[in-house]
A = this chain, B = another copy of it.
């Protein structure tokens, strides 16, 4: 039961982006340096984040990435969904229409309930929450 580093990277990168963007585009190179994540790997992640309507890109000099929506409206579960990290604990429940084994599987309800809790929790946290927290930690360590 591990959250992949891909998902962890994506969340970290998004917080960093929001933290250092004053409304102007942030380059992946900057995020790469600050978060010690390989630039090319970040590129992969941001393609997916863009498709997931989490960020939008600005090309050319002075370009980079911006939030596609206000940070308050971006939930952590959306970020993870975008990088194609399933939040459902068992594979038979990948399709939204539920799995066939509803009746037979004794353990079905366990995993279904678990999936709900995970989703619920990660949806309750927004990028704004995390950014504010990061801001607090930053000012603390600078004092």
Partner-binding segment picked from A24-32, A65-73, A82-90 = A82-90
Least CB distance from A84 to B in Å reads 11
* Interface residues on chain A, size class: 35 or more
Enumerate chain B residues within 8 angstroms of A11, measured Cβ to Cβ: 107, 110
| Copies of the polypeptide in the assembly | 2
| Contacting residue for A2 out of B91, B107, B109, B117, CB 8 A | B91
Give Cα distance in the complex from A90 to B137, angstroms.
21
Enumerate chain B residues within 8 angstroms of A3, measured Cβ to Cβ: 1, 89-90, 111, 114
Enumerate chain B residues within 8 angstroms of A55, measured Cβ to Cβ: none
Contact B118 A130 (CB under 8 A): no
30 residue pairs from A and B, CB less than 8 Å apart: A1-B2, A1-B3, A1-B4, A1-B7, A1-B85, A1-B86, A1-B87, A1-B88, A1-B89, A2-B86, A2-B90, A3-B89, A3-B111, A3-B114, A8-B107, A11-B107, A12-B106, A12-B107, A15-B107, A76-B110, A103-B137, A104-B137, A106-B134, A107-B130, A110-B125, A113-B125, A114-B118, A114-B122, A117-B118, A118-B118
